[in-house]
Structure 1
């Protein structure tokens, strides 16, 4: 546990255990975590949930799980760079990529994206086991929507792999 030290020139040099927010977050008046600290905590919880579901999906499969690359871009944007990030992560994880796709809707509700819906159906049929994305933004920036997709994938026996984890998205 980190300690806070008094300045050496002060009369009483004492060390007290640091009891502030974890991982460098700041508190507001009254000791409540700041919104930044709450977001970090939510991101850590979502990362843990995603990793648990991904491990469960991989455990159910023999050999290399089949994967699909998926990214989200805005209308008129080229998905190539984001797909390359997802591809590199899939290769690093030893995943066998069987399809690549993207939606050009920009940041909309995941349930309205045709290619993501197609991939979820493919997971449900057992044709792929993992969706690989560049970052969680490809699924949703909103915690509730993101968590819903994680639960949906898990219920269908699949998982989500991210090149950039939730804390760096």
Structure 2
């Protein structure tokens, strides 16, 4: 899945570079209820800065694990991809999307179908 995610990222960024379009990102984290998301969101900001992208939306869900599409803020980011407000989502690791491979793969397909990409601060196997 890492190879697929990275291929989506490279393809989308190359397409945007070819048209001279600045890459706009939604930064996202999934945290436990009442957990401060600041540290995890700071990790996503480091990715954005390193890549020279622009943050358009910074958000998090504290709804616990479950279907990413049903989390309010992840749904907001997917809608922003549909609307062309952002080009991709930056999260800390796979667990921000789902620790279950089948759900994670489906979420990657949803992002790809919207012409977007998912970038991670850590590898898929990190928490």
How far does the alpha carbon of each residue in 1:47-87 deviate from its partner, in whole angstroms, 9 at most, with x for none?
A: 00100111121122134310010000011111001000111
TM-score, normalized by length of structure 1?
0.70
The count of residues paired between Structure 1 and Structure 2 equals 124
Deviation, structure 1 residue 127: 0.9
Indicate the residue corresponding to 1:48 in structure 2: 3
Structure 1 runs of 4+ off > 2 angstroms? none
1:155 to 107, 113, 116: 113
Deviation, structure 1 residue 135: 0.8
Indicate the residue corresponding to 2:89 in structure 1: 131
Q: Distance in 2 between matches of 1:168 and 1:149?
A: 18
TM-score, normalized by length of structure 2?
0.93
Q: Where is the helix percentage greater, Structure 1 or Structure 2?
A: 2
How far does the alpha carbon of each residue in 1:97-152 deviate from its partner, in whole angstroms, 9 at most, with x for none?
A: 11100001122221220100010010011110010001111000011111111111
Q: Which runs of 5+ in 1 are unaligned?
A: 1-45
Q: Distance in 1 between matches of 2:23 and 2:111?
A: 14
Over aligned residue pairs, what C-alpha RMSD do you find? 1.1
Higher relative contact order (CA 8 A, sep 6+): 2
